[in-house]
Amino acid sequence: MKTMWKTVDFGRPLRDESGVALPLALVGLVSVTLLVTTALITSSTELAISNAHQGATESLYAAEGGVQAYVAEAGTILSQVAGSPPFEYTPNGAEPVRISVTHLGNRMAEDSSLLRLFTVQATPVSGVGRTVAAIVTQVLPPPVPLQTNITSALTLGGNLDVDGNAFWVSGRSEDPSCGEGVEAVRMSNESTIDVKPQHVDNFVGVDDAGNFVEGYAAIDQTELTRAELALDVMGGMTLQQLIALVPPQNRWGPRFSPPGGPVREFSGYVTEAEGVAVVDGDGGTVLLEGGKGLLIIVNGNLEMAGNATFDGIIIVEGSFWLHGTPQVTGALISLSIDAENLIELDEEAGLSGNVTIQYDRCQINEAAQRFGELTQQSLTPTVGATYGWQEVTR
């Protein structure tokens, strides 16, 4: 056997490159694929980010616009909707939003104006995107107190029939700090009082000179007509103007109840928390069992019986009937309504039993102040610009 040897020169580079093209092509193809895929992914991501940013911006503008539009349109009624469930609101020509209002609190200024603070929150109805909340202020003007011109314990637009001697109508002030006193009765030039001569001294008061007087000397029959007397004692305001300042929650009877809904029935008692009550008598008689503050009865008459007591001011359009042992401490005003108002009421008022009508300027002032505080809620507030923005992104 013959052995063959081949000499190899390791210092010379290899020249045989057969089989390398395919791997290189595959590597290049993979690289290009990766580059293209990366570009596509990046492009898709950028597009998604751009769309998301556009949608978020649109929802932000919609929410901000909704807040601004709602405050501009309904800023004066924020207190009426505060705390209610969110509701849908569509600004003019804009995307609808869901509005919710929260009452943050109140602050009284030195001039007795009232600062209310609210947050108004708007969310796109779609439920996606951004929610924007802004702080809004309302400033209510100072209270408008009841500017009455009460100069007697009893003011009569109609007639008064007194049956018996167990009554007491006094304009004398029981507390000197509440004033020196007034006349017992002030009435129109058309009014009459039917009382037995031996009982007329149950009317007592104080004359303009500060002297105690009784009987007819304590009764002031003015030269004013019934309509003029009514306007004078109300300080120049009509009952309609006065009632317009009273919030709906302090009104009772058919006239002041929601149309088609249940009638808000008056309980017969004016609580200290209520302070003011306006009652539609619906042409009948309103039974007053007691209370404190200001009571206004329209389209009806007043009855007090038993040991009912009331501290403050009572204003009744029609007549009053007091019997038993009731007591009014403050002032009682009975007005008449002429045919122009289309309400016809009996102008006669009867008194029988142990009745007391006691003038008290302190109770009158308290009722007037309570009226002012309450009616401030019905005044039109000044709405401030939105501020303190907050944005919530989901």
Q: Summarize the confidence of residues 61-80 as an average pLDDT.
A: 88
* pTM recorded for the entire structure: 0.70
Which distant-in-sequence residues (6+ apart) come within 8 Å of 242 by Cβ?
Answer: 146, 234, 296
What is the per-residue pLDDT across 148-207, written as a single tens digit (0 to 9) for each?
Answer: 899 999 999 888 888 777 789 999 988 888 888 999 999 999 888 888 898 899 999 999
Predicted confidence (pLDDT) per residue in 317-354, tens digit: 988 888 888 999 999 999 875 433 222 233 445 565 67
Q: What is the pLDDT of residues 244-263, one digit of tens each?
A: 889 889 999 999 988 888 99
From 217, 164, 226, 158, select the one nearest 193 (Cα to Cα).
158
Whether residue 295 contacts residue 314, with contact meaning beta carbons closer than 8 Å, is answered with yes
Q: Residue 322: exposed, middle, or buried by beta-carbon count in 10 A (0-12, 13-18, 19+)?
A: buried
- The pLDDT assigned to 250 comes to 94
pLDDT confidence tier of residue 9, bands split at 50, 70 and 90: low
Query: Which tens digit of pLDDT belongs to each residue from 291-303?
Result: 999 999 999 999 9
C-alpha span between 153 and 185 (Å, rounded): 6
